[in-house]
Amino acid sequence: MKQYVLEIIRQKWRALSIISFLLVLNVIITVVISAYQIPQLADLQMKWSSLRSQAARAGQLDATVLYRQGSTDLEKLKGRIPEKRQFAGVLSDLLEAAASSAVDIGAISYKPVEIKKEALLSYQLSLSASGRYAAVKSYLADLQKNPELIVVDTVSFSNSDPLVEHVVMDLHITVYLLEGA
């Protein structure tokens, strides 16, 4: 039996030396990973966790700062709400924005809704704007940049002829106004 083992070693010495080299290399890599990289990885994970919790604590504000910031934001919002008597001006701004975007406005219908709890009046407007796609898109962007408190509730686009660039945009908009002014 010993003779067979020696004969195998003599004939396959290259393959056995490669296997032995790979085995030693595997043991060395395992020792390096266990002794060096695993503890370093644990330290880096702890540092990362610590930095993450510090960042989370830095983003938190105390209640007085949050209240002050919320009050300031509410005052800015209230400043954007025009008075009831300015509705004609707001409607005129909407029509001027359409004209400057080269958009045709169809019939406009509106329905006033009183919000008693906040002393506000909202006008729910329905209108359709038609024109080239770029013009209609520009008009929608102008509506969103309007300084008054105007909310675009729904938008729908239609094009009856795919060969002609004529888009119809149906809009439902809510305009908020201060009541009693």
* Tokens found for residue 105: 């406005």
Burial of 143 from C-beta contacts in 10 A (0-12 / 13-18 / 19+):
buried
The Cα 153–Cα 127 span in angstroms is 12
Mean pLDDT on 23-44: 90
Helices (H), strands (E): how many in the chain? 6, 5
Mean pLDDT on 163-171: 88
Is residue 73 in a domain?
Answer: no
3-state secondary structure 71-95: HHHHHHHHHCCCEHHHHHHHHHHHH
Asked if residue 126 has pLDDT above 90, the reply is yes
What per-residue confidence (pLDDT) applies to 43? Answer: 92
Q: 45: domain range?
A: 2-59
Mean pLDDT on 3-14: 81
What's the number of domains the chain is made of? Answer: 2
Is residue 72 in a domain?
Answer: no
Is residue 76 in a domain?
Answer: no
For 113, how many CA atoms within 13 A lie in the half-sphere containing its CB?
12
* Residues 91 and 127 both lie in one domain: yes
**DSSP tag of 156:** E
Burial 72-94 (b: 16+ CB within 10 A, else e): eeeeeeeeebbeeebbeebbebb
The pTM of this model reads 0.59
What per-residue confidence (pLDDT) applies to 61? Answer: 65
* Residues 89 and 160 both lie in one domain: yes
pLDDT confidence tier of residue 53, bands split at 50, 70 and 90 = confident
Asked if residue 181 has pLDDT above 60, the reply is no
What per-residue confidence (pLDDT) applies to 58? Answer: 67
* Residues 88 and 172 both lie in one domain: yes
* Residues 94 and 35 both lie in one domain: no
Mean pLDDT on 76-95: 88
What per-residue confidence (pLDDT) applies to 164? Answer: 82
Q: CB–CB of 152/143 below 8 Å?
A: yes
